Amino acid sequence: MKYRLACFDLDGTLLDTIGGLTSSLNAARRMNNLSPQTEDQVKTFINNGVVRFIERSLKADPGEYSEELKQKLLKDNVSYYDSHYLENTRPYNGIVEVLTRLKSEGMLLACISNKNDEPAGKLIDHFFPNLFDYVSGSVEGVERKPSSEPVERCLKALGVDNSEAIYIGDTDTDIKTAKNSQMSSVSCTWGYKVREFLMENGAERICTNPIDLYSLLR
């Protein structure tokens, strides 16, 4: 095998979560007398954790918003999502088969996400039981992607050198994360960014179908 370890992003790479994220955000927005936003809008908010997600949602509204409203929307969104995180969420077609095959052939699998750590872990446990050797989400005191810190913590925990690992994600943040970690990378187009955007942001390799990922990682 070309690599000992494959590190995956979560939202837009392993799981199609846009429906659940949109439902959760709009539930929180209704609680705060704000109009709903579309899935296409919400896709543009995803990338750097839930705080930036909420900030981008509010900045898409006309007028100014207060820090108080941001904190209230953040709290309501997190609370709603924590009890509805499985709704409107599914693995991308073929991804479970690819992970299972890689795992059976001895490859280590990791998920490194900017989603809060608890829901990230719950999603992995539910949709990919016993497949991942390491899972991390956003936790206080650890820099988020595109910092290399969460990747470095993963490599250390699994005893793998960055030359033996590859990073798979669907956004420019994932491309930057791989470069900051001095790792090879694959950018996937089935997630939340299109091929042209990924190429413009320095994608090393492009994969258009989860099934094709297997041959790229072997």
Per-residue pLDDT of 179-217, as tens digits, reads: 999 999 999 999 999 999 999 999 999 999 998 999 888
pTM, entire model: 0.92
DSSP state of 183: -
Contacts (Cβ under 8 Å, ≥6 apart) of 150: 112, 136, 142, 143, 144
CA-CA-CA-CA torsion for 93, 193, 137, 102, nearest 10 degrees?
Answer: 40
Distance, first Cα to last Cα, the chain: 5
- Residue for token pair 């609370």: 79
Between 64 and 143, the higher pLDDT residue:
143
Q: pLDDT value at position 96? A: 97
Structure tokens at 49: 């954790």
Q: What phi and psi values does residue 14 have, to the nearest 5 degrees?
A: -90, -40
- 41-87 pLDDT, tens digit each: 999 998 788 999 999 999 999 988 999 999 999 999 999 999 999 99
Q: Contact 78/53 with Cβ under 8 angstroms?
A: no
Establish how many alpha carbons lie within 13 A of residue 114's alpha carbon, considering only the half-sphere containing its beta carbon: 23
| Cα 61 to Cα 78: distance, rounded to the nearest angstrom | 20
| Cα 185 to Cα 176: distance, rounded to the nearest angstrom | 10
- Bridge partners for 5 per DSSP: 108, 165
| Cα 182 to Cα 170: distance, rounded to the nearest angstrom | 18
Q: pLDDT value at position 48? A: 80
Say how many residues make up the chain.
218
Q: pLDDT value at position 63? A: 87
- pLDDT at residue 120 is higher than 90: yes
Radius of gyration of the chain, Cα coordinates, nearest whole angstrom: 17
Contacts (Cβ under 8 Å, ≥6 apart) of 194: none
- pLDDT at residue 1 is higher than 90: no
Q: Contact 216/205 with Cβ under 8 angstroms?
A: yes
Contacts (Cβ under 8 Å, ≥6 apart) of 125: none
